[in-house]
Structure 1
Amino acid sequence: MKKILVLCVLIFMISCKNESKKEAEQSKVKTTIKESFPNELGEVFKKHGGIENWRKIQLLSFNKGEEVHTADLYSRKTVINSPKYSLGFDGKNVWLDEEVEGSFKGNPEFYYNLYFYFYAMPFVLADDGITYDKVPAISFDDIEYPGYKISYEANIGSSPEDYYIIYYHPNTYQMEWLAYTVTFNSKKPSEKYNIIRYNKWENTNGIVLPKEITWYKKDDNGNPTTPARPATEFTLPLLSEVSLGASFFEKPQ
């Protein structure tokens, strides 16, 4: 089983930089970035470090509790390492490797990129195959947050029926809220949204990444009210312009 700390990832990246350009290239060029989006969302991306800077990044890593999440931003190959289990996506299949059977509670196919999407906001909303529609603002603490609904073209991702709504501060353009649907199991469109507040941010190499998010309850009008659960914290952010070889994302033998 893979058990790596972020420091090990750094060492591995440096050692792999000149190891195999061919292997690295094979793991890329799967996910493209949309070239145009509404001006307001352009300002949101700019507030968080800018699309051009984001495009330079090959590898993203962060910790959620004991889990170390590592993702290739182009192929979307992913590995999650923890003391009791590892799981990931090798570009074709989702895999799970447990120290003891039953250590991982959940569905690997649903979970492997769940927190990647939450963590890589707002930039994952600049992927290709996305449609943007302006929606009514939500209100919280006497501030009206404008929003854009994000929907996907057919056959984009494992749940193309999912919708996201990004809400941003009307003056600073910083992302403040994310509403989203979950259609992984039903495979049917839904208008039932969960909502997350992006409480804290941190600057990592010029890119502003979330440090803490909190799920909120909503009123009958869809406005957030009070926290629904304790905040989820992210630590040890890592962004690198160096990609990892395909073997890093494969299931351990």
Structure 2
Amino acid sequence: MKKLLQILTLAILIVACKNEPKENSAVIETDTSTSLSNQKEAITTSIYPEAITKVFDAHGGIDQWNKMKSLAFTMEKPNGKEVTKTNLQTRAELIDTPKYTQGFDGETLWIKEKAGSEYNGKPMFYKGLMMYFYAMPFIVGDDGIIYEEAEPLTFEGKTYPSILISYEAGIGESPDDEYIIYYDSETGQMQWLAYTVTFGKDGKSNEFKFIRYNNWQTVNGLVVPKSVDWYTYENNQPIEKRNTVEFTDVMISEKFPDTSIFEKPEDAKVIE
């Protein structure tokens, strides 16, 4: 009888262990090819809220995005083609235009003027800007981001649920910036982005600008913009299309870009 009780107790413990909830985490392998050993290490991805996960999944999945090491795209500007190349792991960036080249090697930001042209832009503000807009929605999978539900957007009779994205203190150049992703409730695909601009200012802004994302293409398993439309806005609502920015020669790769392209040339100006 004593032996039977011991067996029953053991069976109950085994069932209890099987039913114990496990930590809800996903493990992926990350290529550490930058080291000489070229080994792989397992990392645990953070757990995202259900809404933003639905959006990520509609665009190919955050795990697929995290495999990528480089991004490049071209935009046609009034002065010619603007080519952006980015190391997605270090966020080193090269922006090449007919009149100037802007580079960031991960520490130093620099400008090289071409053909006697004088650069009058705002390199600190423009660094990473178009890459950030292009890499939506995956770019809001970065560390230090806070997700909240926001008011839905209704435009031309259709209502889009939303996710408010803000940042923990000290994250990025403008931690007071806020973004709102509006997505299709059925497909999860991103449809609008509202964003504030706080660079060079103190505190948050209550004025949201609007970009419409409704033209997509698939590159290396990821659904990314083919073009986006900037809209005029009033009272934090989009009104009508203002202009369209198209993206060509898009490249998203699991290979790291050549680091030498981000290095400051001797005749370039360092931006403090």
Could you say which TM-score interval applies, normalised by the shorter chain?
0.7 to 0.9
SS of the residue corresponding to residue 136 of structure 1 reads coil
2:172 counterpart of 1:161: no
1:97-128 C-alpha deviation (Å, 9 max, x unpaired): 01145444411111121100000000001000
Matches within 5 A, 1:228-247: 229-247=242-260
- Structure-2 separation of matches of 1:104 and 1:63: 20
SS of residue in 2 equivalent to 1:54: helix
Retained in 1: the 8 A contact 2:160–2:185? Answer: yes
Deviation digits for residues 44-77 of structure 1, max 9, x if unmatched?
A: 1011011111111000000011011011111111
Deviation at 1:225, TM superposition (A): 2.0
Name the CA distance, whole Å, in 1 between partners of 2:44 and 2:192: 22
Give 1 or 2 for the bigger CA radius of gyration: 2
Asked whether 1:127 is paired with 2:149, we answer no
2:51 to 31, 34, 40: 40
1:8-29 Cα shifts (integer Å, max 9, x gaps): xxxxxxxxxxxx9449x9xxxx
Q: State the identity as a percent.
A: 43
Higher-strand-fraction structure: 2
Contact 2:231–2:243 under 8 Å retained in 1: no
Shifted more, 65-74 versus 80-89: the winner is 80-89
1: CA distance, partners of 2:178 / 2:145: 10
**TM-score of the two chains, using structure 2 as the length reference:** 0.78
Match in the other structure for 1:93: 108
Alignment CA distance shift 1:33-1:162 (3 Å): farther
Selected match of 2:91 from 76, 82, 85: 76
- Is the CA contact 2:168–2:175 (under 8 Å) kept in the aligned structure 1? yes
**Structure 1 residue 252, shift from structure 2 partner:** 2.1
For residue 70 of structure 2, the aligned residue among 37, 59, 62 is 59
State the SS of the aligned residue for 2:185: coil
Pick aligned residue for 1:171 from 178, 183, 186: 186
1:192 aligns with 2:203: no
Any stretches of 5+ residues in structure 2 without a counterpart? Answer: 1-32, 267-272
User: Larger RCO: Structure 1 or Structure 2 (Cα < 8 Å, ≥ 6 residues apart)?
Assistant: 1
AA partner of residue 204 (structure 1): V
User: What amino acid is the match of 1:150?
Assistant: I
**Cα distance in 2 between the residues matched to 1:184 and 1:206:** 33
* Count of residues paired in the alignment: 225
- Displacement after TM superposition at 1:219 (Å): 3.9
Helix, strand or coil at the partner of 1:53:
helix
Aligned to 2:198: 183
For residues 133-152 of structure 1, what are the structure 2 equivalents within 5 Å?
A: 133-152=148-167
Q: Once superposed, which parts of structure 1, at least 4 consecutive aligned residues long, lie more than 6 Å away?
A: none
> Residues 234, 160 of structure 1: CA spacing in aligned structure 2 closer, same or farther, 3 A cutoff?
same
Q: CA deviation at 1:33?
A: 9.8
Q: Residue 216 of structure 1: CA displacement?
A: 1.2
More deviation in 239-248 or 36-45?
239-248
C-alpha contact (below 8 Å) 1:177/1:197 kept by paired residues = yes
In structure 1, runs of 5+ residues without a counterpart are 1-19, 26-31
Q: Is 2:237 the counterpart of 1:226?
A: no
Task: Name the CA distance, whole Å, in 2 between partners of 1:34 and 1:85.
Answer: 38
The TM-score with structure 1 as length reference comes to: 0.83
Give the superposed CA RMSD.
2.0
Task: Go from structure 1 to structure 2 and tell me whether the alpha carbon gap of 1:122 and 1:76 turns closer, same or farther (over 3 Å shift).
Answer: same
Alignment pair present for 1:206 and 2:221: yes
Give the drift of 1:82. 1.8
Aligned counterparts of 2:257 and 2:198: Cα–Cα separation in 1: 31
Which 10-residue stretch deviates more, 100-109 or 207-216? Answer: 100-109
